[in-house]
Amino acid sequence: MSKFPVMVAMDLEGVLVPEVWIAFAEATGIPELRLTTRDIANYDQLMRHRLGILRQRGLKLADIQRVIAGMEPLPGALEYMTWLCERFQNVILSDTFYEFASPFMRKLGWPTLFCNSLEVDGEGMVTDYHMRLLDGKRHAVLSLKNLNFSVVAMGDSYNDTAMLCEADLGILFRPPQAVREKFPHLPVAEDYATVQRLIEGFARG
């Protein structure tokens, strides 16, 4: 058995729900918006790129929210979350924004979410973004460990790897090949059944 209670910390996009920016790129026909942290490790560089495109094209927060409203969790995610909530405490640690996340949280049963915020002007244009805390995912995992939780973390991209390496068990979920190769010591799960086995094995010690 794990010495301390197990807390499972998860990324959101690419792990439980589709990537918002990819869906928005497909809806608008703007391929440059398909880039995610799987492609660009520097999150600020990625967000500045996105905000610049929104500004150039005159796209507003409401345009993104309309696309999000029609998105559903990944296949199997709801069943996985039901399984998880019956057995372990959990939290979602994401670099997404509260302005994006509410429809997903409702569909996932309102799990606890730590994420970031957007700055929007009076015309509804996204003008900036604000990180709640730099390197917040890793700091959250570290804080949970300091509270005597045994932490399992799951993510899929470069921006998740700091928290995965800080956790007692870090799991890469369907990561791109470049991330697999850069972090070969992290176990990889291609489906939720494998995630469940890894978590249960860790909890048993």
pLDDT tens-digit map of 98-128: 999 999 999 999 999 999 999 999 999 999 9
Inform me whether the pLDDT recorded for 203 exceeds 80. Answer: yes
Q: Taking residues 147-168, what's their average pLDDT?
A: 96
Instruction: Decide if 186 contacts 28 (C-beta within 8 A).
Output: no
Q: Is 100 within a domain?
A: yes
Average pLDDT, integer, range 80-98: 96
CA dihedral sign of residues 81, 140, 115, 189 = negative
- Cα distances from 149 to residues 21, 73, 186, in angstroms, run 33, 27, 20
Mean pLDDT, residues 45-68: 94
**Residues 82, 172 within the same domain:** yes
- Sole residue written with tokens 């809806």: 27
Phi, psi of 130 (to 5 degrees): -130, 120
Domain with 62 in it: 22-69
Q: How many CB atoms lie within 10 A of CB 203?
A: 17
In this structure, what token pair is assigned to residue 194?
């494998």
Q: In whole angstroms, how far apart are CA 137 and each of 84, 121, 197, 201? A: 20, 28, 23, 23
CATH code for position 12: 3.40.50.1000
**152 within a domain of the structure (yes/no):** yes
Residues 52 and 11 grouped into a single domain:
no
173 and 133 part of one domain: yes
pLDDT category at 57 given cuts 50, 70, 90 is very high
112 plus 56 within the same structural domain: no
72 tagged catalytic: no
Same domain, 39 and 53: yes
Residue 13 annotated to the active site: yes
* Given 13, 156, 166, 168, the catalytic residue: 13
Both 60 and 144 in a single domain?
no
| 169 shares its domain with 98 | yes
pLDDT exceeds 80 at position 73: yes
Residue 123 lies in a domain: no
Catalytic residue among 11, 19, 99, 160: 11
Mean pLDDT of the chain: 94
Q: Provide the CB-side half-sphere exposure for 146 (13 A, CA).
A: 6
Q: Looking at the structure, do residues 56 and 77 belong to the same domain, yes or no?
A: no
- Report the CATH number that the domain containing residue 58 is assigned in CATH: 3.90.1470.10
